[in-house]
Structure 1
């Protein structure tokens, strides 16, 4: 397990590389849906690579994500090697927990993302850890849109056995990423 830090320029390059994987597969999304917060940034960076795609966003995150915000300012003052170690410890703790979609708060797909008809949708997030968030949103998209062709993408998959694995990923080797918006960036 390693920690990779991306500045804004590197993040943009990685998003274009992810878009390249999608395009190389022959999939041309008509709608890119980003899972807030990180997936929103990924979707916005990928969008110029698919000129005909619209953007949509959904908000759903693990409860632990909001609890970490209390430490945000203090984390930024710690030395980078210590921050990397803390990220790795957190990843091991999260990987040791059994996860299911019921671990997430109730989720209602926005009405703007239902009844889309026959459309190609790319669901994106910054990272897939347990896979519960991506799985829950993908299920909601399929339920609200039985005719869609749905593919999923993430920059990194951080665990060995997530509940769902994205169709496209740059890192699928348990790489942890410090994104430009991360609390410890």
Structure 2
């Protein structure tokens, strides 16, 4: 397991902003992992249109059946960045992209994550690190520490 702390996150978010080669007019966070990323990118890119979609496939480190819910209304948007903390199996990102594209055929979507596992079935358009192991993100573990 690898711990991923706030200082590294801050550096990575600045790097992600610098590598984006398009200007999204909205960001969709895959909850819960993508929420911190969407918040920071929304501020850095001056985007107020930050949305949420739920994709739940883990419970206590055990993979379960993927459940997608709460797709946002993206009416009036043209370019959307979908973000998550990690593309692990790739199933969540792939399904979210498929659902959102089917609902919004005229919107151009791109994807980003901090971590990407090369064995995943989906490769994000932008990512900062490749990994093969489990990541403990500060927003998941620090709040539980005494």
Q: Secondary structure at the match of 2:83?
A: strand
Structure having the higher Rg: 1
TM-score normalized by the length of structure 2: 0.84
1:161 correspondence with 2:119: yes
CA contact (8 A) 1:30 1:54 kept: yes
Displacement of 1:31 in angstroms is 0.4
Structure with greater helix share of residues: 1
Displacement of 1:118 in angstroms is 5.4
CA gap 1:36/1:52 in 2 versus in 1, 3 angstroms: closer
Aligned partner of 1:66 in structure 2 is 59
Higher relative contact order (CA 8 A, sep 6+): 1
Q: Secondary structure at the match of 1:147?
A: coil
Gaps in structure 2 of 5+ consecutive residues: none
Note the 1:107-146 alignment, pairs <5 A.
Answer: 107-110=68-71, 112-114=72-74, 116-117=75-76, 119-146=78-105
Aligned partner of 2:6 in structure 1 is 8
Q: Secondary structure at the match of 1:139?
A: helix
Q: Within 2, Cα distance between the matches of 1:109 and 1:38?
A: 15
TM-score normalized by the length of structure 1: 0.68
Match of 2:16 among 18, 22, 29: 18
Q: Secondary structure at the match of 2:59?
A: helix
Note the 1:81-120 alignment, pairs <5 A.
Answer: 103-105=65-67, 107-110=68-71, 112-114=72-74, 116-117=75-76, 119-120=78-79
Q: Within 1, Cα distance between the matches of 2:105 and 2:5?
A: 38
Count of residue pairs brought into register by the alignment: 143
CA contact (8 A) 1:11 1:179 kept: no
CA RMSD of aligned residues (A): 2.4
Q: Within 2, Cα distance between the matches of 1:153 and 1:137?
A: 13
